[in-house]
Every structure is written in C-alpha cells, then in structure tokens.
Chains A and B, each alone.
Chain A
C-alpha cells in the first residue's frame, strides 16, 4: 500500500475558505498549520484573528481563536498569553491592521518582548475593504484612495515594519519571507517554525512578515500579480532576517 505523503494538517479545518483565487492567505494559513502540527502544540495554541481579509481565520484553524478589533491583535494576544503563559499564542494580521491603525500595539508588544508570534501578511493594500491605500502601498501604486498613484510628498514612503521593529531588543526573531514559489514556501515555513520556537523557548517576541498578492484589488490575474510582487515589492521589501534569534541555536 502506498504511504500517504501529503494531507491536510490537523491544525487546519476541512472547510473551503473565502479567499480569492491567487491570494496567498490560504498558503500562509497552511504553513502556520503545518508548523503547529510539527511542534505538536495544537492543544495549547490560541490564535488571534485581526480585521482584514483574514478576519475569518477562526473558521479555518483547528485551534482556539479570539477575533480582535482592527489593529489590536497584539494587545489581545498579550492578555491571552498573560493568562496562559504555557499557551502558544499567535496573531495573524494584514498590513493595514498592523502598520496603520495598530502600529502602537505591535511596537509595544515587541518592545515588551511579549512571548507571542505575529504572522504579518503584507499585500501592500487594504484587501477586505476593496483596495484602498495601505501604509505599505508602494510609491505610485494606484489604489482606490490613491487614484493618481501614491504620492511621496503627501503620503510619505511605505513603512518597512520588520526593519522598524528590528531596533527593539524585545523582538527576538524578525524575518521577511514570500510564498510565491516552492523554494520560498520552504523558507517561509522554516521562518514560521523558528518564530514559534522562539516563543516556546520563552525568549521574546517573534514576527514573520510574509509578502502576499492581492490579485482582486491589484486588478491583475494570479500570474500577473506574482510577477508584480517580484518586480515591485521585493526590491523595496527585501526578503531576509532582521533579527536572527541566534541565541536559540540548536
């Protein structure tokens, strides 16, 4: 009999998601779930969903979940973790959620070295509300609230959150990854796993920023959006590790 080599992770429920074709949220959900399975922490994991396209993440993960107000997931996760210090607590947030309305909460959770893990999905746009400009939208990027392109002299430059948090000692692991091809997916999964391990070891705050597409609101096909991300996002948002968490070397 053939050995089963691929299946649905236990930490992911067997339900269809509402994500658009070509969007990376589904892949990222799966990687997080695989990590929860591999670390065998499904029984003590508590996820915090945010406000954005992933607001319904609580319908997809097979773990206890709390749905947080827009931007406040790191504060909500702080409350959860302080009650269950042995819990494995993660937030799952978009770029508008984390880098605009919730900037204070993420900065201070990182500064406190809160033992939580943040999965930050950066698609350079507000997806859920229909494609408005995000703090991460690129210069000249056309969105519904930057119809003439994002102008630097009025909107400033896009925020590189991972680099910004790297100045904080409480942030023990910070990496930016992508899931646009199998090699990057493998690296992304390794980063997510490392981030969870840093938390479990009690070392401090960890975050993985995952570059993602938004074909619907970028107004492109799935294939075009992959190319657009490589050409436009990756040069401005270089993949890499900004805090390595070397102190947990195996």
Chain B
C-alpha cells in the first residue's frame, strides 16, 4: 500500500475491487478486458473470495444478480459484445434495485467489431441499454490511477443508492500501464436488511423482485426509481474542468480521448488559442449544469469521441443552442491523433465548422 506500482488499467480495477471489499466476481473472457478476469481468477482465492468463470455473459450477469440479491459486493466485467448480452440482467438489477459494479472495457463496434479501443457504447451505457425506464450510474476514468479510485468509489455508490454502477473504460485504458497507488480505503460493505440471505430468525421473508403485474403498482415502483435517479443527479454529478476560466473554445471529451485532447489543447494554448477541457467523469448523471454555465462565457464547443457522435447529443442538450457545438470522432477502434484534434480546435477557434 501507499507505494506506486506499474499496472495495466484492467488489473488496477481488479485490485481496487479487492480493496473495496468485493469478494465475488463472475465473468466471461473477452478482449480487451481479459486481464481483468484473469486478475480476479488469481487474486480472489488469495482473499477467500469467489471467482467463477460463467458459461456466458448472460449467466455472469445473472450470477451477479443472485449474489447482489444475497447481499454481497459483486462485480462483473466485459467488453462491448458481452455487455450487450448482459442488458436483460442489468434491467432486472435496476428493477430490483440491486447494487453491483459492471465494467465495460469498450472496443470498436457494431457487431463483433474490432478489439481496439472504442467509445461507441455511450448510448447503451447512459440511455438505458436494456428495457424499461432506468438509469445506471456511469463513471468514465481517464487514467490507470483514476480507474482504481473510481472502482472503489463505484462500490460505495452502488451500496449507497442500491443501483448498478457501470465503469465505462476502453481498450486503451484497460491495456496501458501507468503507475498506480492503492490508498488505504475506508470503503466497506454496508448492512443490507433487504437481502435474500435466508430468514435467519427474521419474521418475514425478503423478496427480491422486479415483477409488478398490477400496472398501478408498477407505475408506483417507477416513481420510486425516478425519485432516486433525481437525487443521484443532484448529488453525484462529477466532472473536471481544465483551463476553462478564460477559454473561448471548450473541448468536451471523456476517457482516453480526453488524454489525447489534452495534448492538442496544450499545443493550441502554446500557440495563443484560448481553449480548455471539460471532462465529464459521470456520464450519467451527465454534468449538464456546469456545461450550461460555460456556455455563458465560451464562444464555441467541440466534442471529441471515439464514436460517430453520441455524447455530443448530451452536450448539445446542455448547451441548448446558446453556442455552436461541433464534433470530431473516430470509430471502429481507431484512436484520434493529437494532430487531427489540434487542427479541429484551430478550425473551431477560427469560427469554422460551426454547427
């Protein structure tokens, strides 16, 4: 502890989960997240935990559903195609209000896609993904250290809100090595009086369920969920703003793209362009309010993503037409170069590119 070690992002998530008291992991191998399932296979037995390689992502998420129902801290991880398979289970987890942590180390899509980094699962992660009106808390780290810190926080948030927390990474963050420090954590599992543990002296059975055959009761349950989501929006929005105070151009980017953007921003700053970075850390709840504030001072926004344009829709909703919002994206597993982002910043600063 308290000493920096060199680790891959995928492994850092695994160690951080152990630090957070997670002793149950269920997963299925897929590139580029396999280091995480392999880390858990090695690490959990050392702390008397349970590692289980499921027969599919469908089974893995349902094992998570069962373990979370039974009251423990539990995690699963996958990459894009596998996360698609988990969606039914995630919807049940939302309906039953179960805490758990789900990691998506995104790759290029659609379909079997590529195995290189992508950010094209933003819609799936933040707008539902599965059926019904529900929200996952979605956190997007941009360094190996932040992957560790956010993972620990994710378990606390999941327990606090009885909600799934998705860590939205990508193949670059998962695979790259950086120094990381695991600080002593006060994070620990909380008492869960609602869990299906066996009655063990309790007078009434606990039931974990998302079925409400009477529509009026189903609607009532939806109101409970929506009230919870409103509170999460009010309390758990996270972002980082760098050099935005005097900025005329605001770059909006998350995850690995924000790192590449920072290189381009520094170069533009050196050349006299007033440009800053706004980095959403919670993708849901999306930091709309602080973006709307920036729209009062900035002249233009430009959104960089490794997708054909997904988060840009949330940025446009936040800016609400007050200033032009342009977009530059790469897809399929291609990382943008600092050079192309720099050129886009310059063209936006020159008033080109408009909407």
Instruction: Please report A residues at the B interface, Cβ cutoff 8 Å.
Output: 42-46, 48, 55-56, 58, 61-69, 72, 75-84, 87-88, 104-105, 107-108
Given known pairs A46-B197, A67-B210, A80-B196, the reply for A108 and B64 (CB within 8 Å) is: no
A79 touches B65 (CB 8 A): yes
Q: Which residues on B sit within 8 Å (CB–CB) of A55?
A: 211
Q: How far is the CA of A186 from the CA of B128 in the complex (A)?
A: 49
Given known pairs A72-B62, A75-B63, A108-B59, the reply for A66 and B196 (CB within 8 Å) is: yes
A105 touches B207 (CB 8 A): no
A80 touches B66 (CB 8 A): yes
Contact partner of A83 (CB less than 8 A), chosen from B71, B206, B210, is: B71
Q: Which 6 A-B pairs have the closest CB atoms?
A: A79-B66, A75-B62, A79-B67, A83-B70, A76-B66, A44-B198
Residue B122 at the A interface, CB < 8 A?
no
Given known pairs A78-B52, A105-B62, the reply for A66 and B198 (CB within 8 Å) is: no
Whole-angstrom distance from the CB of A58 to the nearest CB of chain B? 5
Contact partner of A105 (CB less than 8 A), chosen from B55, B71, B201, B206, is: B55
Whole-angstrom distance from the CB of A100 to the nearest CB of chain B? 14
Q: Can you list 26 A-B contacts (CB < 8 A)?
A: A42-B199, A43-B200, A56-B211, A58-B207, A65-B207, A66-B69, A66-B208, A67-B207, A67-B209, A69-B92, A72-B89, A75-B63, A76-B63, A76-B66, A78-B66, A79-B63, A79-B69, A82-B52, A83-B50, A83-B70, A84-B197, A87-B197, A87-B198, A104-B55, A104-B58, A108-B55
Q: Which residues on B sit within 8 Å (CB–CB) of A77?
A: 66
A64 touches B63 (CB 8 A): no
Q: How far is the CA of A44 from the CA of B60 in the complex (A)?
A: 24
- Specify which of B58, B66, B68 lies most central, judged by the most chain A CB atoms within 10 Å of its CB: B66
A104 touches B56 (CB 8 A): yes
B199 touches A63 (CB 8 A): yes
Given known pairs A43-B200, A82-B52, the reply for A69 and B88 (CB within 8 Å) is: yes
Q: Which residues on B sit within 8 Å (CB–CB) of A76?
A: 62-63, 65-66, 69
Instruction: Please report B residues at the A interface, Cβ cutoff 8 Å.
Output: 24, 26, 50, 52, 54-56, 58-60, 62-72, 74, 88-89, 92, 96, 196-201, 205-211, 213
Q: How far is the CA of A68 from the CA of B58 in the complex (A)?
A: 12
Contact partner of B209 (CB less than 8 A), chosen from A58, A72, A81, A105, is: A58
Q: How far is the CA of A87 from the CA of B67 in the complex (A)?
A: 13
A67 touches B50 (CB 8 A): no
Whole-angstrom distance from the CB of A125 to the nearest CB of chain B? 21
Whole-angstrom distance from the CB of A83 to the nearest CB of chain B? 4
A82 touches B205 (CB 8 A): no
| Cβ-closest chain A residue relative to B72 | A83
| Cβ-closest chain B residue relative to A88 | B198
Whole-angstrom distance from the CB of B212 to the nearest CB of chain A? 11
Whole-angstrom distance from the CB of B94 to the nearest CB of chain A? 12
Q: Which residues on B sit within 8 Å (CB–CB) of A45?
A: 198
| Cβ-closest chain A residue relative to B60 | A75
- Specify which of A42, A48, A79, A87 lies most central, judged by the most chain B CB atoms within 10 Å of its CB: A79
Q: How far is the CA of A104 from the CA of B70 in the complex (A)?
A: 23
Q: How far is the CA of A75 from the CA of B62 in the complex (A)?
A: 5
- Contacts A66-B208, A78-B59 given; 11 further ones with Cβ under 8 A? A43-B201, A48-B66, A64-B197, A68-B66, A72-B89, A75-B62, A79-B67, A79-B69, A80-B67, A84-B197, A87-B198
- Specify which of B68, B208, B210 lies most central, judged by the most chain A CB atoms within 10 Å of its CB: B208
B24 touches A82 (CB 8 A): yes
Q: Which residues on A sit within 8 Å (CB–CB) of B69?
A: 66, 76, 79-80
| Cβ-closest chain B residue relative to A18 | B213
Contact partner of A82 (CB less than 8 A), chosen from B60, B67, B199, is: B67
Given known pairs A82-B24, A108-B59, the reply for A66 and B66 (CB within 8 Å) is: yes
B196 touches A46 (CB 8 A): yes
Whole-angstrom distance from the CB of B17 to the nearest CB of chain A? 16
B208 touches A65 (CB 8 A): yes
Q: Which residues on A sit within 8 Å (CB–CB) of B26?
A: 79
| Cβ-closest chain A residue relative to B52 | A82
Given known pairs A67-B210, A67-B211, the reply for A78 and B63 (CB within 8 Å) is: yes
Q: Which residues on B sit within 8 Å (CB–CB) of A48?
A: 66
| Cβ-closest chain B residue relative to A67 | B209
Q: Which residues on A sit within 8 Å (CB–CB) of B209?
A: 58, 65-67
A64 touches B205 (CB 8 A): yes
A72 touches B59 (CB 8 A): yes
B64 touches A64 (CB 8 A): no
B205 touches A72 (CB 8 A): no
A80 touches B70 (CB 8 A): yes
Whole-angstrom distance from the CB of A37 to the nearest CB of chain B? 13
A67 touches B66 (CB 8 A): no
| Cβ-closest chain A residue relative to B196 | A64
Q: How far is the CA of A224 from the CA of B58 in the complex (A)?
A: 40
